[in-house]
A and B are shown apart, each in its own frame.
Chain A
Amino acid sequence: MFLSILVCAICSFIPRVLPFLCFNGKKEVPRTVTYLGNTLPMAVMAVLVIYCIKSVSLSAPRESAFQLLAVAVAMALHWWKNSPLLSIGVSTILYMVLLRL
Chain B
Amino acid sequence: MDEFRFAAKKTVPVLCGYLFMGAAFGLLFVSAGFPWYAALACSLLIYAGSVQYAFVPLLAQHASLGMIGATTLLLNARHIFYGLSFVESFQKAGKARPYLIFALTDETYSLLCGTAVQPPMRQGRVFFWISLLDQCYWILGTAIGAFAGTALPFDMTGVDFAMTALFAVIFVEQWKSAKSHRPAITGLVIAVVFLIVLGPEQFLLPTLLVTVFFLLLQRKKLEGVIGHE
Q: Give the chain A neighbours of B109 by CB distance below 8 A.
A: 41
Residue total for A at the interface (Cβ-Cβ under 8 A): 66
Q: A5-B46, A15-B79 are in contact. Are A43 and B183 (CB under 8 A)?
A: yes
Interface class of chain B by DSSP: helix
State whether A33 touches B59 (Cβ < 8 A).
no
State whether B38 touches A1 (Cβ < 8 A).
yes
B188 at interface (Cβ–Cβ under 8 A)? yes
State whether B158 touches A20 (Cβ < 8 A).
no
- For A73, give the chain B residue with the smallest CB separation: B165
- For B81, give the chain A residue with the smallest CB separation: A40
Give, as a whole number of angstroms, the nearest-CB distance from A14 to chain B: 7
Q: Give the chain A neighbours of B228 by CB distance below 8 A.
A: 31, 34-35
Interface class of chain A by DSSP: helix
Q: What residues of chain A have their CB less than 8 Å away from a CB belonging to chain B?
A: 1-20, 23, 25, 29, 31-55, 67, 70-71, 74-75, 78-79, 83-85, 87-89, 91-92, 95-96, 99
Q: What residues of chain B have their CB less than 8 Å away from a CB belonging to chain A?
A: 13-14, 16-17, 20-21, 34, 38, 41-42, 45-48, 50-51, 55, 58-59, 63, 65, 68-70, 72-73, 76-88, 90-91, 101-102, 104, 106, 109-110, 113, 156-159, 161-176, 178, 181, 183-188, 190-192, 195, 200, 203-204, 207-208, 211-212, 215-216, 219, 222-223, 226, 228-229
Q: List 26 A-B contacts (CB under 8 A).
A: A5-B46, A12-B46, A18-B83, A19-B84, A19-B87, A35-B223, A38-B85, A38-B226, A40-B212, A41-B110, A41-B183, A42-B187, A44-B81, A45-B167, A46-B191, A47-B190, A48-B78, A48-B167, A51-B204, A52-B163, A53-B164, A78-B173, A88-B16, A95-B161, A96-B158, A96-B161
